[in-house]
Structure 1
Amino acid sequence: MTVFAFDIETIPDVELGRRIYGLDDLSDKQVGYVMQAKRREEVGNEFLSYEQHRIVAISVGLRMREGFKVWSLGEPGAPEAEIIQRFYDGIEKYTPDLVSWNGGGFDLPVLHYRALRHGIAAPRYWESGENDQAFRWNNYLSRYHRRHLDLMDVLASYQPRARVSLQSAALLLGLPGKLGMSGDKVWDAWLAGQIEHIRNYCETDVLNTYLIYLRFELMRGRFSFDEYRMEVVRVREMLKAQPQVHFQEFLAAWPEESAGLVQGTAGAERGA
């Protein structure tokens, strides 16, 4: 089993914003706020058009035979093209199953536009059966295939009105959730030079996503309860071995009694 649970964090692409709106004399901060204000005028909210998002962090939870680990691609402040290339290089190398929360609705489309922007080749990701027949009925691109599992979409039965946030799903399962950070704070954190804080936040989102995925695999019969418990314990042991503060905070907010390690307690009996 090779699984990439992943998440991205973005900020306004102020270089593009300057070209679109002719804002050469404004600072990055000012350009970003103008882009958001223009978007609010156009559609009623500040959520930028997908191509206007610049990726500043991609975090991955990798489950392979050797174990499980979570990290952010590239060094802090690495160029966008580098971290996107690293993401697709991982797919090229491992052909993993991708797992996300709203990845089909946000993360992957943004990655598509930004890879297009930088001229990044990703043949394994874009394969749909022309060169490898195994991808004809199971590829990364189809909404209903499983090489990419968008948990938010699947759990909502592909119904927009049934979707819930990652935070809501995490709290439902007794997981720590966001721990004081959220996506709408990333731009301000970037302006304050807090790239490490952004990467740490992205990594904890990956942890929440991966742990929801484990419960989903139990629910659909891909894991026995004992196998599920072993996978959860593997994550907890990884966290215990890591000195980073955000990992220790996540572990502290995820007590063992709420980890779903006892059969029959993963749900209503815990009041989750």
Structure 2
Amino acid sequence: MIKTIQPRLLSFDIEWTPDPMAAEALYGVEDNPPYSIPDAYRRMWKEAGATPEYPRPWVKTMLCRIVTIAGIFREVGTDGVPSLKLVSLPSDPHDPEKCRERVILEAFLKGIGRSKPQLVGFNSGNADVPILAQRAVVNGLPGFGFGERPDKPWEGADYFSTASDFHVDLQQTLGRGQNTPRLHEAATICGIPGKVDVSGDNVWALIELGKVKQVVDYNEFDAFTTHLLWARMAHFSGLLSTPDYEREQKLVRELLDKEIAGGKDHLLRYIAEWDRLRAITAKY
């Protein structure tokens, strides 16, 4: 299932919305607040095949802009003991400059290029990794090492090869076709919080209302969920022993407590949901 665990690993998730600039460039539609649903968004959804029953269909990732990125960075020390750190972008959701897509992308790609972690995502092969490359190209950014590829997959980090262990898509690992679960489904029945308060369908509205902080909070929930699901699958794959798996869950809990003590009160809801689901799934 999962072949390896690299010394550095990042369980990550990205949030994006249709890009008003793309609507203007492609269709000549300017983004004109104070509309509750900007004409630019409406046109993007129309071109993507909107219907009365399905008014906000999937828009190609290259035509969307990244608004937040969150991840759990795992690093194994010289003593063999892992440590976890929460990473969130924009670093200050109240600062318009730091909320610019170009600034978010540059910070993230530099971090990946510098530490070359194993990337873990959910549907990241179809969405998160492609949008990183696509939007970096749109913004005219270099790859900062993220876009580099070794001659052979085993000779270094390759985030674009299915033969490389440096990118793990948990969704593709769990299923194909009609048996492919959503993150919310896979996590929840495993006793891990799925969607808490917000779903991806609401991100565009929150961004239009200037509620970037709320999107960052939601993005952090998904990062924790992705990491907990990765740990469960690494346990199944024989890469984490049962004591190691239990330690990983403890490390996540300690990280949650640390972030809450630092002022991230929204994570209290995550812990409450985790406790609720664990009580239910304990029946297994």
Q: Which residue of 1 aligns with 2:273?
A: 253
Question: SS at 2:162's partner residue?
Answer: coil
Is residue 2:147 matched to residue 1:126?
Answer: yes
Corresponding residue SS for 1:18:
helix
* Offset, 1:41: 5.0
Aligned to 2:15: 9
User: What's the CA shift for 1:51?
Assistant: 1.2
1:34 pairs, out of 43, 67, 75, with 43
| Equivalent residue in structure 1 for 2:60, among 46, 49, 63 | 49
Match of 2:70 in 1: 59
Q: CA deviation at 1:123?
A: 5.1
Q: TM-score, normalised by structure 1?
A: 0.87
Relative to structure 2, which stretch is displaced further, 24-33 or 95-104?
Answer: 24-33
Deviates more, 1:120-129 or 1:176-185: 120-129
**In the aligned structure 2, how far is the partner of 1:56 from the partner of 1:14?**
13
SS in 1 for 2:49: helix
What secondary structure does 2:217 align onto? helix
Retained in 2: the 8 A contact 1:62–1:70? yes
Q: For residue 203 of structure 2, what is the aligned residue in structure 1?
A: 186
CA RMSD of aligned residues (A): 2.5
* 2:221 alignment partner in structure 1: 204
> Quick one: structure 1 residues 133 and 255, their matched pair in 2 at CA, closer, same or farther if it must change by over 3 Å?
closer
Q: Secondary structure at the match of 1:9?
A: strand
Pick closer, same or farther for the CA change 1:129–1:32 going to 2, 3 Å.
same
Partner of 1:146: 165
Q: Is it true that 1:22 corresponds to 2:43 in the alignment? A: no
Superposed displacement of residue 160, structure 1: 2.7
Contact 1:242 1:248 in 2 (8 A): no
Residue by residue, what CA displacement relative to the aligned partner does 1:120-145 show, whole Å, maximum 9, x if unpaired? 2225323332499613xx62111242
Aligned residues: 260
Moved more, 92-101 or 19-28: 19-28
**Would the aligned equivalents of 2:72 and 2:227 in 1 still touch at CA under 8 Å?**
yes
User: Identity, % of aligned pairs?
Assistant: 28
Measure the CA separation in 1 of the matches of 2:230 and 2:31. Answer: 46
Gaps of at least 5 residues in structure 2 are: 1-6, 78-82
Q: Structure 2 length as normaliser, TM-score?
A: 0.84
Q: CA deviation at 1:37?
A: 2.1
Question: How much has 1:26 moved relative to structure 2?
Answer: 4.0
Aligned to 1:232: 249
Counterpart code for 2:282: R
Task: Return the offset for 1:64.
Answer: 1.4
Aligned partners of 1:111 and 1:126: how far apart in 2? 10
Is residue 5–residue 60 contact of structure 1 (8 Å, CA) maintained in 2?
Answer: yes
Q: Which structure has more helix as a fraction of its residues?
A: 1
Q: Distance in 2 between matches of 1:219 and 1:144?
A: 21
